[in-house]
Amino acid sequence: MKMKTTKKIKALVQKTIKTRNTFLGAAFLLIFLSLNAKVSAMELSDFVQGGAAFLTQIAAHESGHHIAATMVEGENPRMDFFKNQDGNFFLGVSSVKSIEPESVLPFRAAGVVASNHLFNLALSDYRRFPTTYNKTLMFFSGTDFLWYSIWSFYIQDSKDPSYDPVGISQETGISPHAIAGAALLQSAINYYRMSSQDDSFIPYFKLDEDRADFGVTFHF
């Protein structure tokens, strides 16, 4: 396992050298900055709150899929956590036995939508109650789409639609680079809102029974 992981890391480094993956450098820089430029001593309670935030994010993401599947009357929707499926490990994975073809895209995108809503809630709570839990929840929910895209497209190089970014790419025909770029834009704006407390730009996702939209609203 260690050798396999090392090979993947080496392959990722080689990929980042190529021009087509230049945005990865910006992605990792953004994630590094959002972790907090000032490192301070952490207490046990901080680790507990951080772990709780991580689990909250996973649960919210998968709940988004489950709710979407239920709304479009998918057959036998279910959620699983920390599961190996077809040789791939998932922190959380949602599945449905059958679903109408036009509802596949909303189902695939619903986890990202749920994470986006969770970020807005965490941001609002953090501005009133700047706890470790709220701060960590902002990080995990605000970079969820970006992490997932990097993992799916550039580390796993997966074609499995169970990975949300892959499924979205396959359903829409949008290239992996374009989806990863949108994820980077969303995370960059989220980081700006976290650090500046300015909500002039807000990323949004909209779901219908047969479509999913992503955009940015401007407030002046």
DSSP labels for 4-18? HHHHHHHHHHHHHHS
Q: With bands split at pLDDT 50, 70 and 90, how would you rate the model's confidence at 22? A: very low
Phi, psi of 156 (to 5 degrees): -80, -25
- pLDDT tens-digit readout, 177-194: 999 998 999 999 999 999
The DSSP bridge partners found for residue 203 are: 216
Residue 122 neighbours by CB under 8 Å, 6+ apart: 134, 137, 138, 141, 142
Q: Are 132 and 45 in contact (CB under 8 A)?
A: yes
Residue 21 has pLDDT above 50, yes or no: no
DSSP codes of every residue in 36-65? -SS-----HHHHHHHHHHHHHHHHHHHHHH
Task: Please report where in the chains the tokens 């087509």 appear, as a residue.
Answer: 20
The average pLDDT across 121-144 equals: 92
pLDDT of residue 207: 59
Instruction: Kindly list the domain boundaries of the chain, sorted by start residue.
Output: 43-218
* 23-42 mean pLDDT: 49
pLDDT at 106: 85
Question: What gap in Å lies between CA 220 and CA 39, rounded to an integer?
Answer: 34
The residue with greater pLDDT, 210 or 68, is: 68
| Cβ atoms of residues 83 and 186 within 8 Å | no
Q: What is the DSSP letter of 102?
A: G
Q: How many Cα neighbours within 13 Å face the side chain of 215?
A: 6
Residue 4 pLDDT > 50, yes or no? no
Stretch among 40-54, 60-74, 192-206 having the lowest mean pLDDT: 40-54
Q: What is the pLDDT of residues 68-125, one digit of tens each?
A: 888 877 777 776 766 666 666 667 667 677 788 888 888 888 888 899 999 999 999 9
Distances 195 to 35, 127, 145, 162, 190 between C-alpha atoms, Å: 11, 11, 19, 33, 9
**116-153: burial string, b at 16+ Cβ within 10 Å, e else:** bebbbebbebbeeeeebbbbbbbbbbbbbbbebbbebb
**Distance (Å, whole) CA 150 – CA 138:** 19
Chain segment 50-63, per-residue pLDDT in tens: 888 888 888 888 88
Per-residue model confidence (pLDDT) at position 160: 83
Confidence class for position 34, pLDDT limits 50, 70, 90: low
How does the average pLDDT of the chain come out, rounded? 76
Paired sense of beta strands 88-95 and 212-218, if any: unpaired
Predicted local confidence at residue 9, as pLDDT = 40
Residue 191 vs residue 217, higher pLDDT: 191
pLDDT for 17 equals 35
> How many Å apart are CA 109 and CA 213, to the nearest integer?
9
Q: The tokens 């219908």 sit on which residue?
A: 208
